[in-house]
Amino acid sequence: MEGAALAPPKQVTRQGYLIVTIVLGIAGSFVAMAAFGDGTYRVGPMLVHFGMRPATSGTTELTVEPFATGLKAGSVVAQTHSGFLALRSSLVGSIGESNIGDTITNSKDPLTMAEAIRDNGKTAFRKWALRLGLVVLAGGGAGGFAMALVGLKARRIFQGALAGVLTVGLLGLLAWQTYDIKKFSTVQFKPAGVTQILR
């Protein structure tokens, strides 16, 4: 009687393979996102480099690189959202000499810079999201491919890709829904090598 309630060994093995495929797909997506998900885009008068990494908490780092006279280089990190993604936006250039003044104004403090990126970055965000989606899909597929080699099951590639995309997508949605840009209102940029974290 008790033996009849147990799943057949073959079914248990299939479930085990599926779980490992999902784990490898998520891991592959995270690795790909961290390694290949960064991108540099025009945001109003600014050139901004975006990046995203898996993390233990939801933070955003704003960085100003020293590329123009009058620009105050520095960085700051704030606890801006829920979830397990760390976001990074780095001001790395200005679009043309005539826009340097606007770029300097837009980066005078963390809140001003964050709002300038939010207000002027819709097109950049769409392009970056598309890039991230493709990178995460490829990374998840690569994780699934590792399991597809065991038993030559091609469907594991798609299972890994789906697991990675869904996981990163849900974390991204959580970050977007809970994002609080006002966390940057009480902090200032610190010189390179000094990081301030607001919780």
Angstrom distances, CA of residue 65 to CA of 21, 37, 110 = 40, 20, 13
Read off the pLDDT of residues 99-139 as tens digits, 9 standing for 90 and up: 899 999 999 999 999 999 999 999 999 999 999 999 999 99
Report if residue 11 sits inside a domain.
Answer: no
Report the distance separating Cα 38 and Cα 91, nearest Å: 13
Give the tens place of pLDDT for each residue, 50-103: 999 999 999 999 999 988 778 889 999 999 999 999 999 999 999 988 889 999
Domain extent, residue 65, equals 18-198
Is the residue at 67 inside a domain?
yes
Q: Looking at the domain assignment, is residue 41 inside a domain?
A: yes
Q: Mention every residue, 6+ apart, whose C-beta is less than 8 A from residue 161.
A: 25, 137, 138, 140, 141, 144
- Give a yes or no: residue 2 inside a domain: no
What pTM, to 2 d.p., does this model score? 0.84
Give the total number of structural domains in the chain. Answer: 1
